[in-house]
Amino acid sequence: MLKSPSKRPYLLRAMHQWITDSGHTPHVIVDAGRAGDDVPHAYAQDGKLVLNLSYTATQRLKIDNDSVEFDARFAGVIHHVRVPVGAVMGIYARETGEGMMFPDQDGGPESPEPPGSRPGSRQGEESGSGAKRPQLRVVK
């Protein structure tokens, strides 16, 4: 029996189109450790890269089943960027934060945890150092 293809590239393309059609700027979060050598590692923070995938920020953008490829300027220098689809952790609209995070496995998008469901946390509180983390919402 044939293994079904990953849902991730299809969801990534659909979310990219929805964000663009909504007039917003699509950004992807990439695991820089899994992305290989075709990404600008100098711009990684905490092992992650945030890349602008808007048509105005990229040239020759191609999102296929295996990778995301484009040319873009970083500090005025054009780089060819190639990211395996498996290294894409999520996509969101810069202006609203709406988007989708992808699980490590390709079963589909992650369901958000309800507030206060983490052990030791109360609703409305952030755990850790007190720094507020960006919030993404699953768009249905």
* Topology of domain 8-105, CATH: SH3 type barrels. (2.30.30)
Nearest-CA neighbor of 14 among 115, 108, 77? 108
Predicted confidence (pLDDT) at residue 83 exceeds the cutoff of 90:
yes
The model carries a pTM of: 0.72
Helix (H) or strand (E) holding 18: helix 8-21
| HEC secondary structure over 93-137 | ECCCCEEEECCCCCCCCCCCCCCCCCCCCCCCCCCCCCCCCCCCE
CA–CA dist 130, 92 (Å, integer): 23
Rg from Cα positions in the chain: 16
User: Average per-residue pLDDT in the chain?
Assistant: 82
pLDDT in tens, 11-70: 999 999 999 999 999 999 999 888 777 888 888 999 899 999 999 999 999 999 999 999
